[in-house]
Amino acid sequence: MKIILISFFMIMLVPVRIFATEEADPLSVYDFSDINSVLKDDNAFNFEDCVREIIKGDFDTGFSGLFDMFLSAIFSELANEKAIIIKLIVVGLTAALFSNIAFTVLSGKISETGFYITYLALIVCMLSGYTIVAEIVKNTMDRLSSFMEAVTPVYILSIGFSTGESTATAFYQVVIMVITLIEKVLINFIIPMIYTYMITGLINNMANGTLFTKAGELIKTIIEWTLKSLMTFVIGINVIRSLISPIVDSMKVGTMWKVMQSIPGIGNTLNSVSSVVFASGTLIKNGIGISAMIAILVICFIPVVKTSVIAISYKGVSAILEPVSDKRIVNSINTIHISFCLMLKTLLYATVFFILTIAIICASTNLNVG
C-alpha cells in the first residue's frame, strides 16, 4: 500500500505541459455559403455577421449603411420615373387635344381616329411600365424563395439542436409548403391574373366602360380573396404546428431532465450543464431567425420602394390629367395604377408569409429548460 501511495505522489510531482486552446466558434457547425450567395447583391448586409451581432446583443450595429442605401434607392427611383411621367402627361394632353379641340375643327371621325392612335401610344407606354413592375415583383419573389431554400437547412438544424427533431421536421414541412405557395400560386397564378385584369380594364376603357366592367371587378375580387385565403392558411398551419410539435419535444426534454437529476452525485451538475447548452442553442436559433427576417426585409425593401414609387407616379399622372383629358385616358392610367397596387400587395403578402412563419417558429420553439 505504501508503494502505491509513494508512486501516486511521484506521478503528481511530474510536470505536465498544458496547451491553451482557442475558444470554439458556436456557429462553426452552420454553413452560410448558400445564404451569402443569395444575398451577394446586398453588399451592405452580411447574414453571418448579423447573426453574430444579435447573439452578442449588438443588434443596432452596422444598420446605418442599410438606411443610407434605402434612401439612395428612393431618390434614384424617383429620378428614373421622371421620364415615364413626362411621356404619360404628353400623351394624355395629346389625347385631350384630339378629343376636345380637334373635334371642333375636324370631322368627328378624324378626331376619333386621332384619339385612338394616341390611346394606343399610351397603352404601349403603360405596358412598358407594367413590364418593369412585373419583372421587379417576380424576380423579388423568386429571390425570396431562393433565400428561404438556402436558410431553411441552417435554421432547421438550429431548431433540431435547441428543441428536438420532431419540431424541426414539422416546421421544415411548413417552410417548404410556404415556398411552394409562393412559387405555384403567387407567381404562376396571381401575377397572370393581374395581367388579365389590366388588359380587361384597358379594353373596357377603350369601349367607354361598357364591355368588361363586371369581369374586371370579378378578377380583382378573385385576386384579393385568394391572397386573404392564403394568409389565413399560412397563419393557421403555423399555429397548429406550433401547438403540437414543440410540446412533443418538450415532454422528451422534460423526461431527460428528470433522469439526469436522479443520478446520484452528478445529477445537478449534468442538469446545469445541459441547461446552458440548450439555452445557447436557443439563442443561436433565435439569432438565425431574426437575421432571416432582417434579410427578407432587405431583399424586399428596394423592390417595394420601386413599385410604390411607380404606382404613386401613375396615380399622380391620372390626377393631373383628369381636368383636361378624356375620361378614357384617365381611367386607363388608373387601371394601370390599380394593377401596380395589386402587384405591390402580392409582394407584401409573400414577404409577410415568410416573416410570420419564421416569427411563429422562433416564438414556439423556445423551450423552458432546467
Is residue 137 predicted with pLDDT exceeding 80? yes
Give percent of the chain with pLDDT exceeding 90: 14
For 276-285, give one letter per residue: b (16+ CB within 10 A) or e: eebeebbbbb
Q: How far is CA 178 from CA 222, 304, 358, in A?
A: 20, 20, 11
Rounded percentage of the chain residues whose pLDDT exceeds 70: 69
- Closest by CA to 152, choosing from 183, 179, 186, is 179
Q: For residue 157, is pLDDT > 60?
A: yes
Between 75 and 143, whose confidence is greater? 143
What are the tens digits of pLDDT across the range 208-251?
767 788 888 999 999 999 999 999 998 888 888 777 766 666 66
How confident is the model over 90-122, as pLDDT tens digits? 777 776 676 666 555 555 566 677 677 777 888
Work out the pLDDT band at 57, boundaries 50, 70, 90. Answer: confident
Alpha helix locations (H) across the chain? 2-13, 33-38, 47-56, 64-96, 102-105, 108-162, 165-181, 191-206, 213-261, 267-321, 327-364
Please name the residue that has the C-alpha cell 438565425: 288
If residue 207 lies in a helix (H) or strand (E), which one and from where to where?
A: none
pLDDT at 110: 66
Cβ(151)–Cβ(121) below 8 Å:
no
> Does position 73 have pLDDT exceeding 90, yes or no?
no
Can you tell me the distance from the alpha carbon of 102 to that of 99, in angstroms, rounded to the nearest whole number? Answer: 6
- Which pLDDT score is estimated for 224? 93
Whole-angstrom distance, CA of residue 258 vs CA of residue 281 = 20
Confidence of residue 252 (pLDDT cuts 50, 70, 90): low
Tens digit of pLDDT for each residue in 161-201?
767 677 777 777 888 888 888 888 898 999 999 999 999 99
Distance in angstroms (rounded) separating the CA atoms of residues 311 and 348: 14
What length is written for the chain?
370
pLDDT digits (tens, 9 = 90+) for 338-366: 999 999 999 999 999 989 988 888 887 77
- How many C-beta atoms surround the C-beta of residue 216 within 10 A? 23
Distance CA 202, CA 224 (A): 20
